[in-house]
């Protein structure tokens, strides 16, 4: 791995339902030099989630302490809970020679871009249309009518920021979108 490329932070950002998490999992599976930066959240674990793997699950008080101590690169409220990227997680990965992968929301991604500048490669994953996004969210089976409308409204707002990121990839076909992301990643990751 080239020393010039060591420590690049890969930021994947997308509206909920655009396929960002699926694409991130494929990257992690195919590139051992990319490691997921585990975020922190105040939401309770879902079935099968373990602390320190999907998220660091924190109480409101623990989250508040970390905010006050400036331990987050970014954090925000989303869906009634708080989510954040711990600086210590990213630093640990960079110091170990990995490319940290952040799977975060638009506001947080913009904060990370501002802080790290050229040390970040940012990729915005776009749905092919709002209709497709709505269908994907409905197919999850976890959305109420109210939460679906909130997610769609937020998605429209988030899509307006796509041009602020280094790359925009439309996820119409998962394999095609993944191929585009691989080309981006392989432009700076070498063994």
Low-confidence ranges of the chain (pLDDT < 50): 1-5, 191
Residue 190's pLDDT is: 67
Binding residues for ATP: 14-21
Q: How many structural domains compose the chain?
A: 1
In a domain, 49, yes or no: yes
Q: Within a 10 A sphere around the Cβ of 76, how many other Cβ atoms? A: 15
In a domain, 96, yes or no: yes
Residue 76's pLDDT is: 84
Residue 5's pLDDT is: 46
In a domain, 106, yes or no: yes
* β partners of residue 122: 11
In a domain, 4, yes or no: no
Residue 179's pLDDT is: 97
Residue 18's pLDDT is: 87
In a domain, 67, yes or no: yes
Range of the domain at 119: 9-186
The CATH number linked to 61 is 3.40.50.300
Binding residues: 14-21
* C-alpha closest to that of 184 among 2, 16, 3, 27: 27
Alpha carbons within 13 A on the beta-carbon side of 31: 27
In a domain, 2, yes or no: no
The backbone region for 160, taken as left when phi is positive above 0, alpha when psi lies in -120 to 50, beta otherwise, is alpha
Mean pLDDT of the chain: 88
Residue 1's pLDDT is: 40
Tell me the torsion sign for CA atoms 32, 49, 111, 72.
negative
């Amino acid at each position: 791995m080239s020393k010039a490329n060591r420590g690049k932070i890969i930021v994947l950002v997308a509206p909920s339902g655009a396929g960002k998490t699926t694409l991130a999992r494929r990257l992690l599976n195919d590139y051992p030099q990319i490691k997921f930066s585990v975020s922190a959240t105040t939401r309770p674990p879902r079935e099968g989630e373990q602390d320190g793997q999907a998220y660091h699950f924190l109480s409101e008080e623990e989250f508040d302490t970390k905010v006050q101590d400036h331990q987050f690169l970014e954090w925000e409220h989303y869906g009634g809970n708080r989510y954040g990227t711990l600086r210590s997680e990213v630093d640990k990965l960079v110091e170990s020679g990995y490319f940290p992968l952040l799977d975060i929301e638009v506001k947080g991604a913009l904060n990370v871009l501002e802080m790290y500048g050229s040390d970040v490669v940012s990729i915005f994953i776009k749905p092919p249309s709002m209709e497709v996004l709505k269908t994907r969210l409905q197919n999850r089976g976890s959305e109420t009518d109210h939460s679906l409308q909130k997610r769609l409204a937020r998605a429209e707002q988030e899509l307006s920021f796509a041009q602020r990121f280094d790359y925009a990839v439309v996820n119409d076909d998962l394999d095609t979108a993944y191929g585009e992301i691989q080309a981006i990643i392989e432009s700076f990751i070498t063994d």
